[in-house]
Chain A
Amino acid sequence: MSRDAMLVHQLLQRDVDAFEQLYDRHSRIVYALVLRIVQQASTAEEVVQDVFLQLWRNARQYDARRGPFAPWLMTLARNRALDHLRLKSERQRRREDQSEEFLPVMSVPQFEQALDEKRRAEQVRALMGSLNAQQKKAIELAYFEGLSHSEIAAALKEPLGTVKSWIRNGLLRLKEGLRAAT
């Protein structure tokens, strides 16, 4: 069992020290991600508070058998931040449909290893940097702003089919790149 999984397990016994360790280990990346989405420090802190209180109050939502903790927490934080942006819009309903209920279902490919956070960030940035600018922009609009294919096509003034290919090929390339890097 990983260090994170052990700490989350301790949360079930209301272990405050375990919570503090989890916060210290992950708050920087969670905050950076949320801030990138909501673009305002005070709002980002509210969302991060919400995320960690949800972890504290509902630690059993995380299932260590389904994968490591950090990606799970980042997915939770991204969904919370996008929900905050969209509130009760149509797109929020779409997000809710596929967010928390499916959160535990995230398996890790064989090539996943315990890379430290800094090294993983460098890898992901390098791989995304190898994509063309429009392709990278399309993926970022989807990930950080929660836009759909059609919305991205309209925003970039590009054909819908082109945007779909960019996103799929970009993510496949990211997957292969992460596999090759380990």
Chain B
Amino acid sequence: MSKCDQFRELIEAYALGALDAEERAALEAHLASGCQDCAKAVEEARWVVSQLGYLAPEAQPSELLKGRLMQTVRNEARGSQGSQKPRGEIPFWMWAGVAALLLVTLYSVRVTLQLQKDIEIANQRAGEVLQQRRELEAQLQLAKREARIMTDPKSKKFMMPAKDSQMPQLEAMWHPELGICVMGDKMPMPSANHVFQLWLIPKIPGSKPMPMQTFWPDADGKLVRIVENTPEPMWNTKAIAITEEPEGGSLQPTSEPMWVGGVS
């Protein structure tokens, strides 16, 4: 069996992202050496792997998502008219970086092959705690994001008083990169078959409110909701509002805001 044949056996798993570190490093070093046959085989394997997406059960995103996307895209298209600049070629320093990465990869191959046996044993043990770690990581990342939004000096804090004086006041922090964190205690539950929905109110006169997430407070009335990927920047937003909407959310508000907070 030639060296190239050995690598051919790894190509499908490589395209799938299933190779363990040492095998992946070895194959990447081989590809970096310029083997055109293997490079072509990787390209074909990637196409085959992409077809696995059709195994997912059929599902359809909400109209809310399309509305939100189209509003963002229209705003950006208006904002970018006449201001687009062509991107330049890849600078020399980036190619130098690639060359340095290649050298590091080749070195890694040598080191990782020596550690192969130990890694396989460690990987088997890691599999037993995999699921638990994934859950903890997800919780940790959420908590970290929340903590960063709460403590980063770039975050802007604003209150969201309730229209009804019997309702609690909410608090929001908006970080320009991390998103918005809305918090509150003793929140009531929305009425039957309804949810609360968050809205961004753009500054541009005549613009419609932008629909965001729907949510419920937890059983104790506590609310901590993080909105990532806000479609509008903070400077372009006048206020954040919360309304009660039918389950599934609405493209435009169907009720008066219950909480409103001025952003700027």
**A contacts, CB < 8 Å to B:** 14, 16, 19-20, 23, 27-29, 31-33, 35-36, 42, 44-46, 48-50, 52-53, 56-57, 60, 66-67, 70-72, 74-75, 77-78, 82, 85-89, 94-95, 97-98, 102, 105-109, 112, 117, 120-121, 123-125, 128, 139-140, 142-144, 146-155, 160, 164, 167-168, 171-172, 174-175, 178
Contacts and interface: CB of A to CB of B under 8 A. Distances in A.
Given A56-B76, A154-B127, A155-B127, A108 B47 contact: yes
Given A108-B47, A150-B127, A152-B18, 5 more contacts: A19-B70, A71-B46, A75-B49, A142-B16, A171-B16
Contacts of B76: 14, 56-57
Contacts of B52: 124, 128, 139-140, 143, 174
Interface string B54-85: 11111111101110111011101100110010
A171 B64 CA distance: 37
Q: State the 8 A-B residue pairs at the shortest beta-carbon distance, nearest first.
A: A154-B127, A150-B123, A71-B50, A36-B56, A107-B43, A121-B54, A142-B18, A31-B61
A167 B13 contact: yes
A57 B79 CA distance: 13
Contact of A143 (B23, B28, B49, B61): B49
Contact of A42 (B56, B77, B213): B213
Contact of B51 (A71, A89, A98, A154): A71
A36 B58 CA distance: 9
Contact of A27 (B9, B66, B231): B66
Given A49-B68, A153-B127, A174-B48, A31 B18 contact: no
A87 B123 contact: no
Contacts of B42: 105
B87 interface: yes
Contacts of A112: 47
A85 B69 contact: no
Contacts of A57: 76
B98 to A, nearest CB: 9
A171 B17 CA distance: 13
A160 B24 contact: no
Contacts of A123: 54
Contacts of A23: 66, 69-70
A19 to B, nearest CB: 5
A147 B61 contact: no
Interface string B80-112: 110010010000000000000000000000000
